């Protein structure tokens, strides 16, 4: 009997927890839509020079990707040290590859 009571309490806690989680994910989705709209709006308006627009849209892309990784893919949760290591390892190699290919041709 006591076991049952305890397990229901855990369930209630878990349910609340995943509800909160869901709320955060919906908020991140809304913010991602806002960033997308802002990026397209900036470019479509055509009022700003490319020196202003390009850094801005790149920053907004990075923010969106952070939302995607940390909230949608749960990288902010505990026991995600290994996934973070793997992804940041990948990002590091990616940066090297990218530098080799793109930056060198701008010389």
Partner 1 sequence: MSYDESLFPEKLPHNPEKATLEGRNKFMGLWFFLGGETVLFASLFGTYLALKDSVHTGPTSEELFGLPLVFLMTVMLLTSSLTSVYAMYHMRNNDFKKMQLWLGITGLLGIGFLICEVYEFAHYITDYGFTFRSSSFGSAFYTLVGFHGGHVTFGIVWLITLMLRNAKRGLNLYNAPKFNTFSLYWHFIDVIWVFVFTVVYLMGKVG
Grouping H, G, I as helix, E, B as strand and the rest as coil, residue 48 is coil
Could you say whether residue 65 binds partner 1 (CB under 8 A)? yes
Could you say whether residue 27 binds partner 1 (CB under 8 A)? no
Q: Which of 18, 20, 27, 76 binds partner 1 (CB under 8 A)?
A: 18
**Structural contact between residues 95 and 101, judged by C-beta atoms closer than 8 angstroms:** no
**Structural contact between residues 32 and 67, judged by C-beta atoms closer than 8 angstroms:** yes
By C-alpha distance, which of 92, 90, 88 is closest to 70? Answer: 88
| Contact footprint for partner 1 (CB under 8 A) | 10, 14-15, 18, 21-22, 25-26, 29, 32-33, 36, 39-40, 43-44, 50, 53-54, 57-58, 60-61, 64-65, 68-69, 72-73, 82-83, 86-87, 89-91, 93-95, 97-102, 105
């Amino acid at each position: 009997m006591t076991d049952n009571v305890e397990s229901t309490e855990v369930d209630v806690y878990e349910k609340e927890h995943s509800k909160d989680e869901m709320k955060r994910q919906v908020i991140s989705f809304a913010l991602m839509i806002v960033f997308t709209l802002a990026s397209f709006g900036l470019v479509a308006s055509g009022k700003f020079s490319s020196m202003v627009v390009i850094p801005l849209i790149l920053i907004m892309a990075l923010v969106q990707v952070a939302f995607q990784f940390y909230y949608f893919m749960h990288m902010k949760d505990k026991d995600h040290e290994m996934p973070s290591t793997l992804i940041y390892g990948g990002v590091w190699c990616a940066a090297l590859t990218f530098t080799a290919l793109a930056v060198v041709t701008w010389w």
